[in-house]
């Protein structure tokens, strides 16, 4: 079986695609996976590092860029479709899988032209423009979360499979191990996660907030903090000045141990982060990125908060004081265990298996 996987840009798209690819190749060593993405996305580096073939094509966003940006995006998308047609004719995949984002559109449009079955994965509770368009030609639409409002459903109901967000095998294994151990080893450990691209707002306010929280904490406070590119040194100095033991890094895809040791997580609310938090059953403070397409991070965060799994702080209300006070309130009210149980309800460790089961059916049909 030959499978094309397309999409990327951020870890929220790339990591689930690698989980699906791993399940495909694990089932049969003769199975082949080819990735198509953009040169500048995270996929251009991470996919080859994992040993998979990668072909870059042109592409561009067509929303939130003004008239000239929209025309430019449309032009490069058309170029990407032509490039993808050439690649797909040679590879001849049985199924094409789209992971969302504008990077997925050229390859899946080309697959449709060639009569190759198309499926898409929608990680967020609110679909983006590319997936809304591709959902019209897809044979299956795999959702990470149940639709929050079926009256506003963007996809035909018969296409939908609610499977969860595919997680990498090492994360699933670490989550199983962590379920049998005490998080933090007796310390209160906070994992601060701004996503694969970091988050300046979290870098600015959270270190000082943790320092304020530390003053009255009953346990030793430790921190793991992913800052994004170029901010690690500055953030590390803030923690050091406050006497907080901290591991600060710009980006590290191997985050399983950080999740496992965390007592709680402070994070953006992209689907990748929310799904990983759920996999490890961690209580969280979610700070959705206010400019995320379609407000999908706000929707993800609100879904978790409504279930009692997280507390949401809007970025407009973000400050050292609000984060510190929220930490103190959650710890002092003994809410974390209850939040952890609520978070676990969103975990889907078998998502990749269920996606590949459906891919095999389509490939055989």
Please indicate, yes or no, whether residues 219 and 116 belong to a single structural domain of this protein: no
The answer to whether residues 144 and 192 belong to one domain is: no
pLDDT digits (tens, 9 = 90+) for 242-294: 999 999 998 887 889 999 999 999 999 988 899 999 999 999 999 999 988 77
**What length does the chain have?**
365
Confidence of residue 311 (pLDDT cuts 50, 70, 90): very high
Same domain for 182 and 101: no
pLDDT of residue 66: 61
More confident call, 246 vs 333: 246
| DSSP codes, 141-206 | EEESS--S-GGG--S-GGGEEE------HHHHHHHHHHTTS-GGGGSEEEEEE--TT--HHHHHHH
DSSP string for 227-278: --TT-HHHHHHHHHHTT-EEEEES--S--HHHHHH-SEEEE---HHHHHHHH
pLDDT above 90 as % of the chain? 67
Average pLDDT over every residue of 220-232: 92
Q: Of the segments 5-19, 49-63, 181-195, 222-236, which one has the largest average pLDDT value?
A: 222-236
Element (H, E) at 15: helix 11-27
Does position 62 have pLDDT exceeding 60, yes or no?
Answer: no
Farthest-apart Cα atoms in the chain, separation: 64
Q: Is the pLDDT of residue 181 over 80?
A: no
The predicted structure's pLDDT at residue 13: 87
pLDDT given at position 211 = 96
* Confidence at residue 153, expressed as pLDDT on a 0 to 100 scale: 64
The pTM of the full predicted model, rounded to 2 decimals, is: 0.85
> How many domains, the chain?
2
* pLDDT score at 265: 97
Is residue 155 very low, low, confident or very high in pLDDT (cuts 50, 70, 90)?
confident
Predicted pLDDT at 150: 58
Examine the pLDDT at 49 and tell me if it is beyond 80.
Answer: yes
Both structure tokens of 246: 């901290």
With vertex at residue 183, the alpha carbon angle to CA 18 and CA 247, rounded to the nearest 5 degrees, is 70
Q: Same domain for 102 and 182?
A: no
Q: Is 234 found in the same domain as 118? A: no
> Are residue 134 and residue 185 in the same domain, yes or no?
no
Question: Is it the case that residue 176 has pLDDT exceeding 70?
Answer: yes
Distance, CA of 312 to CA of 326 (rounded, Å): 10
What's the CATH number where 106 sits? 3.40.50.2000
- Clarify whether residues 38 and 8 are in a common domain: yes
Check whether residue 187 and residue 138 sit in a common domain.
Answer: no
- Could you tell me the CA-to-CA distances from 359 to 105, 133, 202, 229, 258 in Å, in that order? 19, 20, 39, 36, 32
The pLDDT mean for the chain works out to 90
118 in Cβ contact with 108 (< 8 Å): yes
User: What's the confidence (pLDDT) of residue 118?
Assistant: 97
Domain residues for the domain of 353 are 2-167+349-364
Listed ranges 50-64, 161-175, 346-360; the one with the highest mean pLDDT: 346-360
242, 338: one domain: yes
Is the domain of 329 the same as that of 353? no
Mean pLDDT of 121-129: 85
| Residue predicted with more confidence, 172 or 68 | 172
Q: Is 110 exposed, middle or buried (0-12, 13-18, 19+ CB in 10 A)?
A: buried
At 143 the pLDDT is 93
CB-CB contact of 84 with 109 (8 Å): yes
Is the per-residue pLDDT at 67 higher than 80? Answer: no
Same domain, yes or no: 302 and 183: yes
What does the pLDDT read at residue 229? Answer: 85
107 with 144, same domain: the answer is: yes
| Model pLDDT, residue 61 | 66
H/E segment holding residue 311: strand 310-312
pLDDT the model gives residue 127: 84
Of 13-17, 142-146, 149-153, 287-291, which range is least confident? 149-153
Lowest mean pLDDT among 21-30, 133-142, 151-160: 151-160
Query: Is the predicted pLDDT of residue 83 greater than 80, yes or no?
Result: yes
The mean pLDDT value for 353-361 works out to 97
140-143 and 95-98 strand pairing: unpaired
């Amino acid at each position: 079986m030959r499978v094309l996987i397309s999409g990327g840009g951020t870890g929220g798209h790339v990591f689930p695609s690698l989980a699906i690819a791993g399940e495909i190749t694990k089932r049969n060593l003769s199975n082949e996976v080819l990735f198509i993405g953009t040169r500048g996305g995270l996929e251009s580096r991470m996919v080859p590092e994992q040993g998979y073939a990668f072909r870059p094509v042109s592409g561009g966003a067509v929303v939130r860029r003004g008239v000239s940006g929209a025309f430019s995006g449309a032009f490069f998308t058309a170029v990407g479709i032509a490039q993808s047609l050439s690649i797909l004719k040679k590879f001849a995949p049985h199924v094409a899988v789209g992971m969302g984002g504008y990077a997925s559109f050229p390859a899946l449009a080309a697959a449709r032209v060639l009569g190759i079955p198309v499926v898409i994965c929608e990680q967020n509770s609110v679909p983006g423009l590319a997936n809304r368009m591709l959902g019209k030609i897809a044979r299956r639409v795999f959702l990470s979360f149940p639709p929050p409002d079926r009256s506003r459903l963007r996809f035909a109901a018969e296409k939908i499979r609610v499977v969860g967000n595919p997680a990498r095998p090492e994360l699933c294994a670490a989550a199983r191990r962590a379920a049998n151990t005490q998080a933090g080893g007796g310390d209160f450990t906070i994992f601060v996660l701004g996503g694969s691209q970091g988050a300046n707002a979290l870098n600015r306010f959270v270190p000082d907030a943790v320092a304020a929280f530390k003053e009255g904490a009953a346990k030793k406070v430790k921190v793991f903090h992913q800052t994004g590119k170029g901010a690690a040194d500055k953030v590390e100095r803030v923690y050091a000045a406050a006497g907080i033991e901290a591991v600060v890094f710009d980006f590290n895809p191997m985050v399983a141990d950080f999740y496992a040791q965390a007592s709680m997580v402070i994070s953006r609310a992209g689907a990748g982060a929310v799904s990983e938090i759920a996999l490890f059953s961690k209580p969280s403070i979610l700070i959705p990125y206010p400019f995320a397409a379609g407000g999908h991070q706000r929707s993800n965060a609100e879904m978790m908060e409504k279930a009692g799994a997280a507390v949401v702080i809007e970025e407009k209300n973000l400050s050292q004081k609000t984060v510190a006070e929220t930490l103190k309130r959650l710890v002092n009210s003994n809410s974390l265990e209850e939040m952890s149980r609520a978070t676990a309800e969103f975990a889907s460790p078998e998502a990749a298996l269920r996606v590949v089961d459906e891919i095999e059916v389509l490939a055989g049909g």
